[in-house]
Structure 1
Amino acid sequence: MTRLEVPGLITFTIAILVFFVGTGLNRAIPKLREWNIPEAVTGGLLAALVTLAAFRFSGIEVVFDLNARDMLLLYFFTGIGLNARLDDLLSGGRPLVMLLALTLIYLVIQNAIALGSVAALGLPDGITAFLGSASLIGGHGTTIAWAPVIAARTGFTGAMEVGIAVATLGLVIASLAGGPIARYLIARNNLSGPQDAAPVMGLPEETTDTKGRDDVSHVSLMRTVLVLNVVVLIAFLLEDVVERTGVKLPLFVVCLLVAIVLTNTVPRLLPRLNWPTRTRALALVSDFSLSVFLSMSLMSMQLWTIGGLGVALAVVLALQTLAAVLYILFVVFPAMGRTYEAAVLSAGFTGISLGATPTAIANMTAVTKLHGAAPRAFIVLPLVSAFFIDIANAFAIGWLVG
């Protein structure tokens, strides 16, 4: 076995190449675009298959340095916060509460499926949380945080391996399912979004008509990056202050909250200041950050670790996937109003239920690039999935492991 460690700069460069490979494949295979599969997902999965082949046939284990990915995550969430105008937050009150309620209900359903499956298939008790919300709603971060605790409490020695494998498969499924779900709902209900709305995440592919659009220049890009960096620096300073209050929040959530506060105060106090909210420059930086982040996440998946997952766990994952799709189609979409925005949120809900927040945003971005903007969806979903639901999930996992 040969371990090949790829340095950070090369990893970053490969991630960009992987994105362009995905872009080329999406153009060459129209169905990928029609079904709203993000370019980073197409390229990232192909790269993961390449590293899997290298491991299987050459005995080479490729390990990428992912330090740059952390900064991209901060940029991504900060960009979302900078676009969160107060009027959107106020108008998003009901959708926010509704989506939170739907997510909490699904958290219970997901863990009930895990409990029932473990009992029916005779699986170890310590595996329950990883077949439910710890790995699926929680993703890799929650899995890594809870695996040592669950292993110590239950004696289940394979906690980390199983949890990572389930989270990885959930990420893949969520990446592939969100776009097709939205396409089905949009086509079935004859929905479309506004074509002239200010961008929130990503720019439409057809940008020849620049009427009414703000210009993207090196100055606007540098101004946007400066604001992003200032917000991240403030979040770094506040992280310790937040922890001292007894509330433990991931740094990207602190960035999101700081950005929301600043974007609703600074432009009012300094109206002549060029603030990047809803500008094409911010959308461009946010889209770049998300695309490279997702490319790095998917291409670095060690798919060979899933080989020993077992038939029983595969059956449970199939049940969880079926439950998520049915819940989205027959509960989430109707409850959110059967509108275009509800269809976009339905694409994002796959990330909440099976993958992670960046996956959810990537799915929604792919949809809105093709069908039109849905600004409120990009405010509501991150607040639910990256803030409120993490707190509820911690209680749920704690209850599952006793």
Structure 2
Amino acid sequence: MTTIQIPGFVTFTIAIVVFFVGSGLNGVVGPLKRWNIPEAVTGGLIAALVTLSAYRLFGIEVTFDLAARDMLLLYFFTGIGLNARLDDLRAGGRPLVVLLMLTLAYLLLQNMIAVGSTAAMDLPDGIAPLLGSVSLIGGHGTTIAWAPLIAARFGLGNALEIGIASATLGLVIASLVGGPVARILIGRYHLHGQPAEPPSIGLPDTPATEKATGINHVNLLRTVLVLNVAILIGVALDEIVAETGIKLPLFVICLLVAIVMTNTVPRAFPRMFWPARSRSLALISDLSLNIFLAMSLMSMQLWTLGGLGPALIIVLAIQTVVAVLYMIFIVFPAMGRDYRAAVIAAGFSGISLGATPTAIANMTAVTKAHGPAPTAFIILPLVSAFFIDIANALVIGFMVR
């Protein structure tokens, strides 16, 4: 086996190419665009299949330096925070609580399905949490954190491989099912966004003049400066929070810092440039999310899925069907049966099967085609990347014990 390590700058460049490959395919293959499959997902999966072919046919394992990906994630979620106005936060109060309750209920349901399915197929002890919220709601990070403990507790030597394979397949499925779910709901109930609302993310693909979009190099640099200041404050606070023993993802802290800044700084300095709800911020958010997602998907090591036997595939298939039904018949009605509810239902695929960026990418693909839904982009990350991580850790700890 030969390993090829792709350096960071080349990885970033390849991710751009991967995005354009996906964009081109979405333009040619009608169903991809019609079912709101993000361009980065299309291109990223193609790239992942190429690395899989290199691994299977030539014994070449391609790995990527993903340092730039983490920075893009900070830019994206900080941008979401800068767009969070107090009115949106107030409007998101009740939906935030409802979505949190729905997610907590699904967390328990997902683990019940994993326990029941693995018991019915007489799979080894310890596999249930790995095919439940450890890998699916938790994703790769949670899997890596908990797999050694599960392996030691149940004597499951390949716990990490099983969990990583499950998380990888869940990420792929989440990237593919969110858009179609929204498409079904929007078409069935004739829903649409508010065209007058400026997009916080998901600028249309049609070219426009600099004057029409309000984007120029000065506005872009001002926007990047505000983003960088928010991120620097978030990094400083992250060190303080870590000393208290509380574990929060850095992008969540940056998101919260940006929310505070965007609701205080413009009030204190009304004549100061502020990028909230601007085209320049939407442009940076789009760029960050698309390249992040392209990097994430093209770097997937699909050969790890070979560790999933037929029984494990069946469990994940059951999890997928239940997740889709939950989005359509539980999440959408509970969130109000309106356009925002359809967007959140698309994003719920990322909560239930993939990751927060996948959820946001699915929602972005929907809003790009049907109109903005700014509140959805505030409440879903807070639920999926903050509250649910705490609850998931408690549930996993109980299952492991």
> Above 0.5 in TM-score?
yes
Mapped partners of 1:209, 1:183: distance in 2: 30
Q: Does 1:243 align with 2:254?
A: no
Mapped partners of 1:62, 1:302: distance in 2: 8
Corresponding letter in the other structure for 2:241: V
Deviates more, 1:390-399 or 1:118-127: 118-127
SS at match of 2:246: coil
SS at match of 1:193: coil
Q: Does 1:53 align with 2:53?
A: yes
Corresponding letter in the other structure for 1:221: L
Mapped partners of 1:395, 1:329: distance in 2: 27
Mapped partners of 1:145, 1:84: distance in 2: 32
Mapped partners of 1:78, 1:189: distance in 2: 33
Mapped partners of 1:53, 1:244: distance in 2: 45
Q: Does 1:334 align with 2:333?
A: yes
Q: Does 1:62 align with 2:79?
A: no
Aligned to 1:392: 391
Aligned to 1:40: 40
Aligned to 1:190: 190
Aligned to 1:108: 108
Aligned to 1:356: 355
Alpha-carbon deviation of 1:198? 1.2
Mapped partners of 1:210, 1:99: distance in 2: 39
Normalised by the length of structure 2, the TM-score is 0.98
Note if contact 2:165-2:307 (Cα within 8 Å) is conserved in structure 1: no
SS at match of 1:381: helix
Corresponding letter in the other structure for 2:296: S
Question: What do residues 138-179 of structure 1 show as CA deviations (whole Å, max 9, x unaligned)?
Answer: 111111111122222222111111111000000000000000
- For structure 1, list consecutive stretches of 5 or more residues without a partner in the other structure: none
Mapped partners of 1:366, 1:322: distance in 2: 22
SS at match of 1:156: coil
Mapped partners of 1:30, 1:121: distance in 2: 40
> CA 1:184/1:15 → structure 2, altered by over 3 Å: closer, same or farther?
same
Normalised by the length of structure 1, the TM-score is 0.98
Corresponding letter in the other structure for 1:88: D
Q: For the aligned residues, what is the CA RMSD? A: 1.3
Aligned to 2:85: 85
Note if contact 1:182-1:344 (Cα within 8 Å) is conserved in structure 2: yes
Structure 1 segment 369-380 matched on structure 2, within 5 A: 369-380=368-379
Alpha-carbon deviation of 1:92? 0.7
Alpha-carbon deviation of 1:117? 1.2
Question: What do residues 248-296 of structure 1 show as CA deviations (whole Å, max 9, x unaligned)?
Answer: 1111111111111111111111111111111111111011111000000
Aligned to 2:254: 255
Mapped partners of 1:118, 1:32: distance in 2: 34
Aligned to 1:3: 3
Q: Does 1:16 align with 2:16?
A: yes
How many residues of Structure 1 are paired with residues of Structure 2 in the alignment?
401
Structure 1 segment 146-225 matched on structure 2, within 5 A: 146-206=146-206, 208=208, 215-225=214-224
Corresponding letter in the other structure for 1:380: I
Mapped partners of 1:146, 1:81: distance in 2: 30
Mapped partners of 1:347, 1:210: distance in 2: 32
Question: What do residues 307-353 of structure 1 show as CA deviations (whole Å, max 9, x unaligned)?
Answer: 12100000000000000011111100011111011000000000000
Structure 1 segment 225-240 matched on structure 2, within 5 A: 225-240=224-239
SS at match of 2:61: strand
Mapped partners of 2:18, 2:239: distance in 1: 36
- For structure 2, list consecutive stretches of 5 or more residues without a partner in the other structure: none
Question: What do residues 343-376 of structure 1 show as CA deviations (whole Å, max 9, x unaligned)?
Answer: 0000000000000000000000000000000000
